Amino acid sequence: MHELSLCGSIADIVSRHAEGRTVTVIHVQVGQLRQVVPDTLAFCWEMVSADTALDGSVIEVETVPARMRCRKCGHSDEVGDLPVFACHDCGGIDAEIIAGEEFMVTSLDLAAEPAGETGT
């Protein structure tokens, strides 16, 4: 749903770091608590990157599971598939999220650039 505007932000970041070189793969880390659908992100990326210097590059998503730490007993654990933020150990409900909210461009793969093969 909001993947289209996110792709605009990704394009800005990638362009800045690519410095004119040909990007093949954009590695993106997406936390489980981010509501980003990888397929939709890939589809929107095709639209946003089309006919730009980034045309032909693809986004590869690394999903990061959500983890929480109980403020009461200190137990830390994966949240799991159900969005229940109670401690799996003591049942305490005051837990902090320690992973799963990531949403960042981690790295870019740049094409080797023999002369004359730098895209269009």
Binding site for other proteins (CB under 8 A): 1-2, 4-6, 9-10, 12-14, 17, 24-25, 28, 33-35, 39, 42-43, 46, 51, 55-58, 60, 82-86, 93-94, 103-112, 119-120
At its nearest, how many Å lie between other proteins and the CB of residue 73? 15
At its nearest, how many Å lie between other proteins and the CB of residue 90? 14
At its nearest, how many Å lie between other proteins and the CB of residue 25? 6
Q: Return contacts of 110-119, CB within 8 angstroms, 24+ apart.
A: 110/18, 110/21, 110/22, 110/23, 110/24, 111/21, 111/22, 111/23, 111/24, 113/21, 113/22, 118/22, 119/22, 119/53, 119/55, 119/56
